[in-house]
């Protein structure tokens, strides 16, 4: 019997993007407005973090992170999560989804330390960042986590399960690998989070997600977060969630506090690189995220930048996990000016104070464009996004 190939894995997805996409360039032009942002809700925020019925120690850790008022997704999700209800969170990237599910789950484990939670993400970087945020929220509580992602030593990950684990945070492939090796069992995981469920479906992980969810207890609390409710995501919701509450704070396609414009570039192998380099020499381009369509293209851009002594590095699927994390850390700490990334590698990146996003290659879809430019203009700051388009 013919079996449909899984042709949406990250590698194949990236290959597909090599074809030059067509997009209405008028969608890529927008003047910024700092009077509102992606986090501006239709209704006012109802709570402060101090209003939530959570452990005082957790409130202290939240305050230590500098959090005072919740974002709209946190304001709507945390109270429902604390009640133990299943939640469908529909929100753009960068709206504070991580805290929206971590706070209720950590509080649950402070009440009963035997609880375990599984958090599944589409990319290694997103899993890593969730794990880092978990450590900050759960500091001093004795709660444990296991980061289960590819590109890192499997035996080291196996040894993590020699002690009790509260949170398993990882990508579908590595989680299934560990389950198949019987390193741990999901039979007692009564809490699950699917973060960026639509992206996991797009990347071809639908069978993996079904396999993982099918191994969980039927009595559980589930958090599914997605930017879009496409058919396959709705099918997962119907099959694996119990009378969920839908929380939607997806206000607009692109935030109004990001100035968007296009840059016409002539044809020629080095023309785009030269224009990029001239832009990066300007003082306002302090911390720049550059998106390329392919891994090879990202490497070529970094090579050209290094030749001009512009501090830069690349992250993509051919880089080891340690290399990618080091490059990301250098970018966060301003040790490099430019981080060049492919769409898959940059999924879920949360980096403060990115001055500019430059689409060196036009994204394949408008959804990809929205995701890319959302890396700037964070936390109500003004951001700028430029897209290189061929000169006619």
Q: For tokens 């970087």, name the residue.
A: 125
Residue 36 pLDDT level (bands cut at 50, 70, 90): very low
Contact 175, 205 (CB under 8 A): no
Of 173, 170, 183, give the one whose Cα is nearest residue 120.
170
Query: What percentage of the chain exceeds 90 in pLDDT?
Result: 60
Can you give the pLDDT at residue 18? 38
- The more confidently predicted of residues 14 and 302 is 302
Residue 390 pairs with which residues in a beta bridge?
265
Exposure class string for 14-25: b at 16+ Cβ within 10 A, else e: beebeeebebee
Q: For tokens 């020629």, name the residue.
A: 268
Q: What CA–CA distance (Å, rounded) separates 100 from 73?
A: 7
pLDDT in tens, 138-160: 999 999 999 999 888 899 999 99
Q: What CA–CA distance (Å, rounded) separates 144 from 146?
A: 7
Mean per-residue pLDDT for 197-221? 93
pLDDT in tens, 357-377: 999 999 887 778 888 888 888
- Mean pLDDT for the chain overall: 86
Q: What CA–CA distance (Å, rounded) separates 37 from 92?
A: 12
Q: Specify whether the backbone of 243 is left (phi greater than 0), alpha (psi in -120 to 50) or beta.
A: left
Residue 166 pLDDT level (bands cut at 50, 70, 90): very high
Domain at 49-248, CATH class: alpha beta
Query: What percentage of the chain exceeds 70 in pLDDT?
Result: 85
pLDDT in tens, 285-307: 999 999 999 999 999 999 999 99
Between strands 191-194 and 117-120, the pairing is parallel
Residue 120 pairs with which residues in a beta bridge?
170, 194
Q: What CA–CA distance (Å, rounded) separates 284 from 377?
A: 14
Can you give the pLDDT at residue 251? 52
Of 58, 98, 24, give the one whose Cα is nearest residue 365.
24
Q: For residue 314, with 0-12 CB atoms within 10 Å meaning exposed, 13-18 middle and 19 or more buried, which class applies? A: buried
Examine the pLDDT at 19 and tell me if it is beyond 60.
no
Mean per-residue pLDDT for 81-86? 96
Can you give the pLDDT at residue 31? 56
Can you give the pLDDT at residue 375? 83
Can you give the pLDDT at residue 209? 96
Distant-in-sequence contacts of 64-69, Cβ < 8 A, 24+ apart: 64/136, 64/139, 65/136, 65/137, 67/99, 69/45
Can you give the pLDDT at residue 153? 87
Examine the pLDDT at 106 and tell me if it is beyond 90.
yes
- With vertex at residue 218, the alpha carbon angle to CA 214 and CA 224, rounded to the nearest 5 degrees, is 70
pLDDT in tens, 239-284: 999 999 999 886 555 567 888 999 999 887 789 999 999 999 999 9
Examine the pLDDT at 103 and tell me if it is beyond 90.
yes
- The more confidently predicted of residues 77 and 34 is 77
Mean per-residue pLDDT for 303-327? 91
Q: What CA–CA distance (Å, rounded) separates 5 from 211?
A: 17
User: What Å distances lie between residue 113 and 80, 144, 320, 366, CA to CA?
Assistant: 21, 10, 34, 43
Examine the pLDDT at 20 and tell me if it is beyond 70.
no
Task: Write down the domain spans for the chain.
Answer: 10-37+254-390, 49-248
Q: How many Cα atoms are found within 13 Å in the side-chain-facing hemisphere of 15?
A: 6
Find the helix or strand (DSSP H, E) in which 329 lies: helix 321-332
Q: What CA–CA distance (Å, rounded) separates 264 from 262?
A: 6
Examine the pLDDT at 4 and tell me if it is beyond 90.
no
Fold match flag (10-37+254-390 vs 49-248): yes
Can you give the pLDDT at residue 268? 77
Examine the pLDDT at 38 and tell me if it is beyond 80.
no
Residue 320 pLDDT level (bands cut at 50, 70, 90): confident
Q: What is the dihedral of CA 350, 230, 258, 334, to 10 degrees?
A: 20
The CATH code of domain 10-37+254-390 reads 3.40.50.300
Residue 15 pLDDT level (bands cut at 50, 70, 90): very low
Q: For residue 207, with 0-12 CB atoms within 10 Å meaning exposed, 13-18 middle and 19 or more buried, which class applies? A: exposed
Cα-Cα-Cα-Cα dihedral sign, residues 121, 155, 131, 185: positive
């Amino acid at each position: 019997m013919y079996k449909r190939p899984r042709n949406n894995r990250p590698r194949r997805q990236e290959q597909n993007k090599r074809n030059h996409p067509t997009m209405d360039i008028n969608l890529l032009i927008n003047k910024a407005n700092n009077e509102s942002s992606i986090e501006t809700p239709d209704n006012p925020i109802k709570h402060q973090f101090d209003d939530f019925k959570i452990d005082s120690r957790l409130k202290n850790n939240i305050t230590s992170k500098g959090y005072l008022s919740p974002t709209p997704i946190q304001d709507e999700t945390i109270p429902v999560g604390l009640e133990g209800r299943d939640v469908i969170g529909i929100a753009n990237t960068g709206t504070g989804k991580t805290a929206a599910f971590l706070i209720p789950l950590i509080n649950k484990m402070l009440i009963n330390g035997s609880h375990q939670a599984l958090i599944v993400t589409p990319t290694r970087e997103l899993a890593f960042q969730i794990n880092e945020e978990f450590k900050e929220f759960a500091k001093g509580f004795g709660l444990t986590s296991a980061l289960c992602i590819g590109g890192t030593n499997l035996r080291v990950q196996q040894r993590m399960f020699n002690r009790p684990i509260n949170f398993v945070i990882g990508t579908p492939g590595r989680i299934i690998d560990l389950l198949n090796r019987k390193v741990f069992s999901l039979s007692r995981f009564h809490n699950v989070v699917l973060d960026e469920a639509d992206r996991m479906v797009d990347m071809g992980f639908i069978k993996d997600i079904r396999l993982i969810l099918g191994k969980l207890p039927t009595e559980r609390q589930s958090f599914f977060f997605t930017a879009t409710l496409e058919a396959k995501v709705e099918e997962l919701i119907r099959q694996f969630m119990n009378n969920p509450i839908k929380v939607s704070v997806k206000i607009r396609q692109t935030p109004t506090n990001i100035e968007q414009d296009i840059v016409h570039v002539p044809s020629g192998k080095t023309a785009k690189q030269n224009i990029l380099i001239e832009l990066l020499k300007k003082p306002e381009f302090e911390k720049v995220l550059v998106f390329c369509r392919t891994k090879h293209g990202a490497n070529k851009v970094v090579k050209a930048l290094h030749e001009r002594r512009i501090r830069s590095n690349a992250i993509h699927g051919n880089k080891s996990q340690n290399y990618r994390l080091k490059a990301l850390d250098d970018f966060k700490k301003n040790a490099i000016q430019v981080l060049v990334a492919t769409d898959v590698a940059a999924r879920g990146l949360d980096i403060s104070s990115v001055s500019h996003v430059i689409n060196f290659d036009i994204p394949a879809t408008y959804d990809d464009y929205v995701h890319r430019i959302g890396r700037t203009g964070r936390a109500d700051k003004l951001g700028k996004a430029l897209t290189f388009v061929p000169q006619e």
